[in-house]
Amino acid sequence: MIEIAIMIQVNGYAAHEVKAPLTPFAFERREVGENDVLIDIQFCGVCHSDIHQARDEWGRSHFPMVPGHEIVGMISRLGSKVTQFKIGDKVGVGCIVDSCRHCASCEKGLEQYCLEGMTGTYNSTARDGKSVNQGGYSNRIVVDENYVLRIPHHLPLDQVAPLLCAGITLYSPLTHWKAGPGKKVAIVGLGGLGHMGVKIAHALGAEVTVLSHSLKKQEDGKRMGAQHFYATSEPETFKKLESTFDLVINTVSAEIDWNEYLGLLKLDGVMVVVGVPTNQIPIGSFSLIAGRRSLAGSLIGGIQETQEMLNFCGKHHITCDVEVIPIQKINEAYERVVRSDVRYRFVIDMKTL
């Protein structure tokens, strides 16, 4: 008897070519394998990296492309060998849906640094080398249970969705470089990433400062937990704050002078870059050697750390500030993200698909 694989029919929105508007798109996902779960997607966050990839601004984009890697929903079907979840569980899928599972990074739970390359939720090829992965701007997704995350039951799903990228992107460096009581932390930029950095750093017990271009978001920053707020457009800011911080997290993708921000670090301080400017930023050696300072980078988190972040956010009642939109407004939302016209993250209600 020959078994015939039954593919799962899915509806979503896709970019069909570079810089084209996203439009409705019907496609197929693989059948639920023995270790897979089928998730009915309820909400999907809109990340700026979705825009970069849909517009091929980072190169290597493949079309048609269904973006979305901040996915939350409920399990509707289980593979025969799934042990960690049950039907009806509230779950999430972030930026990673697979990895090699055997390299030094994967064995440490650092799948984001998989030495063979992590498998992204969308705009990537599955480990079989053939199938193209499509993301969360859709109504259903099939994922191996080992890359699925459990959502704290008391947190609203729409506000949780961006935690799966924005939340972990800030949680990982803040905990790795030990932000906490007695540490002075500066968050550069109060956007989709930065506002999560303020909330998490505050919950960790650090003294938090926001460095923003202007003071227009000062009230928001203080509400989220920042004790201090400074405008970087004011020249005296860099002089006043020289050698102040143990840790600076730079969330902005705009081309700013990193040397100025390195000067804000104490002896042995660290500046961590999580934003991705289009062009290379020049660094002067004296910005580093004058205070034995370090410049570092950080990329999301592994599955174990992302679950740890979700549990932490559940304990401290941390969620994202979101604006929920129907999928039909996704192209308008993209333009508003580019203009920084959102406080602080768009989330798509997939019931509108």
pLDDT tens string, the chain, 353 residues long: the values are: 444 567 899 999 999 999 899 999 999 999 999 999 999 999 999 999 999 999 999 989 999 999 999 999 999 999 999 999 999 999 999 999 999 999 999 999 999 999 999 999 999 999 988 889 999 999 999 999 999 999 999 999 999 999 999 999 999 999 999 999 999 999 999 999 999 999 999 999 999 999 999 999 999 999 999 999 999 999 899 999 999 999 999 999 989 999 999 999 999 999 999 998 888 999 999 999 999 999 999 999 999 999 999 999 999 999 999 999 999 999 999 999 999 999 999 999 999 99
Domains of the chain, earliest start first: 8-164+320-352 (3.90.180.10), 166-297 (3.40.50.720)
Predicted TM-score (pTM) of the model is 0.95
User: Parallel, antiparallel, or unpaired for β 345-349 and 322-326?
Assistant: parallel
Cα 179 from Cα 165, distance rounded (Å): 19
Residue 5: the pLDDT is 62
Cβ pair 65, 54 in contact under 8 A: yes
Residue 277: the pLDDT is 87
Is the C-alpha dihedral spanning 252, 254, 258, 264 positive or negative? Answer: negative
Place of tokens 């639920």: 32
Residue 1: the pLDDT is 43
pLDDT tens per residue, range 124-150: 999 988 889 999 999 999 999 999 999
User: Parallel, antiparallel, or unpaired for β 119-120 and 96-98?
Assistant: antiparallel
Residues with Cβ within 8 Å of 63's Cβ and at least 6 positions away in sequence, in order, are 14, 15, 16, 17, 18
